[in-house]
Amino acid sequence: MPIQAERAERPLVMDARESGSGRFSVREECFDPARQRGYIFLMHLTWKDHEEIAWALMDKFPDQDPLKLSFPKLHKMVTELEDFKDKPDGSNEKILENIQMTWYEEKK
């Protein structure tokens, strides 16, 4: 779990941690001059991150055909991803379709 702290004015370092497929999840390392220490913020997935969600789903379900999923099933799969931290009711059909089509395009 990331450290809860105020963000510094600008990040000093953008870094990444590798996922199983060779793709990266971004983390942001910031320096708080008032406290003279650095903080690392892991960037959690939200409904706005349709490409990153599609990659995470490909990693977790490599044999799944995304076009054979119903939107309720896709919604459940997304909300159960380890890095997903958004409100479950924050999605809609357009968001789920974007995730599904991005997953399909990446899988081709």
Query: 17 pLDDT band (50/70/90 cuts)?
Result: very low
Query: 44 pLDDT band (50/70/90 cuts)?
Result: confident
| In CATH, 50-107 is 3.30.70.60 | no
For 52-74, b/e burial (b = at least 16 CB within 10 A) is: bbbbbbbeeeeebebeebeeeeb
pLDDT of 107 reads: 86
Please state the rounded mean pLDDT for residues 27-56.
Answer: 69
Please state the rounded mean pLDDT for residues 33-49.
Answer: 66
The upper half-sphere exposure of residue 105, i.e. CA atoms within 13 Å in the direction of its Cβ, equals 9
pLDDT of 33 reads: 54
Please state the rounded mean pLDDT for residues 27-47.
Answer: 59
The larger pLDDT score, comparing residue 57 to residue 17, is at 57
Stretch(es) of the chain classified as CATH 1.10.10.600: 50-107
pLDDT of 14 reads: 40
The larger pLDDT score, comparing residue 41 to residue 102, is at 102
Q: CA-to-CA distance for 98 and 59, rounded, in angstroms?
A: 17
